[in-house]
């Protein structure tokens, strides 16, 4: 169910964002990127970002919940092995509830690389949110009459700051949970 929610929430956000982009392109075509477009963009992009930020934080929470469920399954396997040790060779997933056991069950590896982390739903949604935040900053600068160079600098800085901020908040939430966790059946 957790994976279904992750995919559903991500799909919903991408649908909302796609609809916003299509609507923005239609309005841009009709108004020639004039004041009407800016007004519409200033109304639509914050709504898309609200959905995007909500999606990002829910994905972080869902990943944490999924890890707890894996820990629970690992503990159940541990109980089976305590009851019938001869079953151990038949389990392909871990029966330990520590970080290495969690990784073995998740990915059947002892460690995962950067490509595994970068391809995760929260990271992808976070990057998209950062880009949309940068675009919103550019629209705000355009509406305020900023020049091209200043608009580009502010939009880029906003996107980078958003990516760093979301990464920090996501990491802090995961770290908060892992800091207090104590494995009962370590490797």
Summarize pLDDT for 116-151 with one digit per residue, the tens.
Answer: 788 889 999 999 999 999 999 999 999 999 999 999
Q: Work out the number of other CB atoms within 10 angstroms of the CB of residue 123.
A: 17
| Domain ranges, residue 122 | 2-180
Considering the chain, what percentage of its residues have pLDDT values greater than 90?
87
What is the pLDDT, as a whole number, of residue 37? 95
What is the pLDDT, as a whole number, of residue 109? 74
With beta carbons less than 8 A apart as the criterion, state whether 187 and 96 touch.
yes
Residue 90 forms part of a structural domain:
yes
pLDDT tens digit sequence for 102-119: 989 988 777 777 887 888
Residue 121 forms part of a structural domain:
yes
Residue 185 forms part of a structural domain:
no
What's the Cα-to-Cα distance from 13 to each of 44, 48, 127, 144, 176, rounded to whole Å?
Answer: 13, 8, 13, 29, 26
**Region of poorest pLDDT, from 27-36, 130-139, 158-167:** 27-36
What is the pLDDT, as a whole number, of residue 113? 79
Residue 150 forms part of a structural domain:
yes
Report pTM. Answer: 0.89
Q: Give the number of domains in the chain.
A: 1
Residue 86 forms part of a structural domain:
yes
Residue 52 forms part of a structural domain:
yes
Residue 186 forms part of a structural domain:
no
Q: How far, in Å, CA of 120 to CA of 4, rounded? A: 14
With beta carbons less than 8 A apart as the criterion, state whether 78 and 97 touch.
yes
pLDDT tens digit sequence for 44-70: 999 999 999 999 999 999 999 999 999
Residue closest to 55 by CA, chosen among 135, 125, 160:
125
What's the Cα-to-Cα distance from 166 to each of 123, 126, 130, rounded to whole Å?
Answer: 9, 6, 8
What is the pLDDT, as a whole number, of residue 57? 97
Residue 187 forms part of a structural domain:
no
Exposure pattern of 163-172 as b/e (b: 16+ CB <10 Å)? beebeeebee
Mean pLDDT score across all residues of the chain: 94
End-to-end, the C-alpha distance of the chain in Å comes to 28
């Amino acid at each position: 169910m957790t994976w279904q929610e992750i995919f559903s929430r991500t799909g919903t956000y991408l649908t909302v964002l796609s609809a916003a982009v299509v609507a923005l392109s239609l309005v841009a075509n009709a108004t020639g990127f004039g004041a009407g477009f800016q007004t519409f963009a200033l109304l639509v992009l914050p709504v898309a970002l609200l959905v995007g930020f909500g999606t990002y934080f829910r994905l972080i929470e869902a990943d944490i919940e999924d890890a707890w469920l894996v820990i629970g399954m690992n503990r159940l396997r541990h109980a089976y092995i305590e009851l019938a040790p001869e079953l151990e060779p038949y389990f392909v997933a871990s029966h330990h509830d520590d970080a290495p056991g969690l990784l073995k069950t998740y990915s059947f590896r002892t460690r995962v690389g950067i490509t595994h982390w970068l391809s995760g739903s929260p990271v992808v949604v976070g990057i998209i949110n950062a880009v949309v935040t940068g675009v919103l900053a550019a629209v705000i600068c355009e509406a305020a009459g900023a020049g091209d160079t200043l608009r580009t600098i502010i939009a880029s800085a906003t996107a980078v700051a958003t990516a760093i901020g979301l990464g920090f908040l996501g990491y802090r939430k995961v770290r908060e949970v892992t800091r207090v966790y104590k494995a009962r059946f370590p490797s």
